[in-house]
Structure 1
Amino acid sequence: MTITTHNGMALLELDAAGPLLATEQDAVDLIGETYGTDADIIVVPLARLDPQFLELRSGIAGVFFQKLQNYQKRLVVLGDIAAEVAASKSLHDFVHETNRIGNHLFVPDRETLLARL
């Protein structure tokens, strides 16, 4: 995990290696990692998220987004999900709306993330 700054915003960036994140407690733990830092944005590589995260009916994504929203933190999912988005209209609509609003983001790579901030 590292803290970086871009355009005056502090990002807590998780390493790609590590335990899968899937529960409400995992979301709370992520928020806890920001304490003592200026980080409002938590960047999570797709590899760190439980594969069920992108299956919206599992509720995992909703729990993460809601918990971080409650604590005024932004979640960025970093990784290419084009195949998953193409295969699911509901995921397509969710990702499109999430990115349109811009509080939380799905981005394929770090360069896209930095361009969006």
Structure 2
Amino acid sequence: MPDLVFDPDGPIIARDGDVNDFISAGWDAGADRLVIPVSRLAPEFFKLSTGLAGAVLQKCTNYNFRVAIVGDIAVHTDKSGPLRDFVYESNKRGDVRFVASMGEL
């Protein structure tokens, strides 16, 4: 099944309900993976204490979508050990991947 790659420009995911439009687009495209540029994520997504990343990614997996977050997140992981661990574990499992570029998919 194909990936649905979202444009870097457009509405951002700032709360968990915002991902619904991405999920709907994924269904319409017949995709099995949503490829979301970092630019489409609010900074709160990368602060694990907000719960935004967990809620968004859980919703995607509940609807049987794999997710790839594409872009440089070093500015966030450099500040947060728990985020680094989350990214590492997510990448290890594979349903959710954080990659620096499309070439890494």
What TM-score, normalized to structure 1?
Answer: 0.84
Q: Match of 1:101?
A: 93
Displacement over 3 Å in runs of 4+: none
> Structure 2: where are the runs of 5+ without partners?
none
Name the % identity. Answer: 39
Query: Which has the larger displacement, 46-55 or 33-42?
Result: 33-42
2:49 is equivalent to residue 52 of structure 1: no
Quote the Cα distance in structure 1 between the aligned partners of 2:10 and 2:37: 10
Q: Match of 1:72?
A: 64
Q: Match of 2:79?
A: 87
Quote the Cα distance in structure 2 between the aligned partners of 1:48 and 1:36: 19
Query: Which has the larger displacement, 25-34 or 90-99?
Result: 25-34
Please list the CA deviations of residues 40-73 of structure 1 after superposition, one character each: whole Å capped at 9, or x if unmatched.
1001100110111101111110111110111010
What TM-score, normalized to structure 2?
Answer: 0.93
2:8 is equivalent to residue 16 of structure 1: yes
Aligned residues: 105
Quote the Cα distance in structure 2 between the aligned partners of 1:34 and 1:47: 18
Q: Which amino acid aligns with 1:63?
A: A
Secondary structure of the residue aligned to 1:34 is helix
Secondary structure of the residue aligned to 2:10 is coil
Shift of 1:84: 1.8
User: Please, which of 25, 36, 44 is the counterpart of residue 33 of structure 1?
Assistant: 25
Q: Which amino acid aligns with 2:73?
A: I
Q: Which has the larger radius of gyration?
A: 1
